[in-house]
Structures are given as structure tokens and as C-alpha cells.
Amino acid sequence: MNLSYQKSKLDSGIILFELEGKILTTTDSEELAQEIATCIEKNEIRFIFKLKNLEYINSTGLNFIISSFTKARNAGGELVICEVSEKVQDLLVITKLNTILTSFKTLDEAIQNFEIKTINN
């Protein structure tokens, strides 16, 4: 199975994407990339990627995540990841992307991160 996802808007305005399957080609993430672009156009710029059910990504998948992270940051927002599957976490460590992306063990921790940033700003 290639990539599928569920999008939801949390009460705090954060956009949650729950990714499932695999990202192996740019075609796999095209629809999701367009969703993110549409959100940014609407000034919805705080994102959480829940990666619990993302089975596998290769360099194309890593590029998609970094590109999404960069677009959110360039728009003045943020993208964090949570509940990262073991295979994806291993790849993030090997590529040292775990030092760039902010990752949380649970969805609640990721949401709290945004709430703390809002209070401190």
C-alpha cells in the first residue's frame, strides 16, 4: 500500500495528518503536498505528522517531510512529528534528520508543544 492519510483540524487550529503506508515516489505524496500548500495559503501553518502507521519511507519520503517542514517554517509556522514508527525512526537517526525535526512520543506531547509556544510568544 502506498501513502494514505487522514487530515483533521484540532480545536487549537493545529492541522493533524495521520500518515499510513509508504512514501516511495513523489507521486505517493503529491496529494498530501497539495493539502499542505492549501493549508499554508489559508494561513493554517501549524502541523503535526503522526507517523505511527507509516511503514516505510526512502529518500523521496525523507525529502517530502523536509520539504513540508521547510514550507511550514518559511510561512512562519511549524511542523513536528509524533508517534514515529520504529523503521522510520531508525532512518531519521541514520540520516541525522532527528536533529532537525522535532519529534514527540505522543500526540498529546506534540499538541502541548504548540500550546507552550503560543503562551511564550
The Cα-based distances of 66 to 11, 37, 49, 54, 97 in angstroms read 26, 14, 12, 16, 9
pLDDT at residue number 119: 52
CATH number of the structural domain spanning residue 116: 3.30.750.24
What is the pLDDT, as a whole number, of residue 95?
Answer: 94
Report how many domains make up the chain.
1
- Which residue range(s) make up the domain with 34? 4-120
Question: What distances in angstroms separate CA 108 from CA 53, 87, 94, 117, one per listed residue?
Answer: 17, 22, 26, 14
Look at residue 91 in the predicted model and tell me its pLDDT. 94
What DSSP letter does each residue of 12-50 carry, written as one string?
TS-EEEEEEEEE-SHHHHHHHHHHHHHHHHTT--EEEEE
User: Would you state the pLDDT for residue 115?
Assistant: 76
pLDDT value for 41: 97
Kindly give the confidence (pLDDT) of every residue in the chain, 121 residues in length, as a single tens digit, with 9 standing for 90 and above. Answer: 589 999 999 988 999 999 999 999 999 999 999 999 999 999 999 999 999 999 999 999 999 999 999 999 999 999 999 999 999 999 999 999 999 999 999 999 999 988 776 555 5
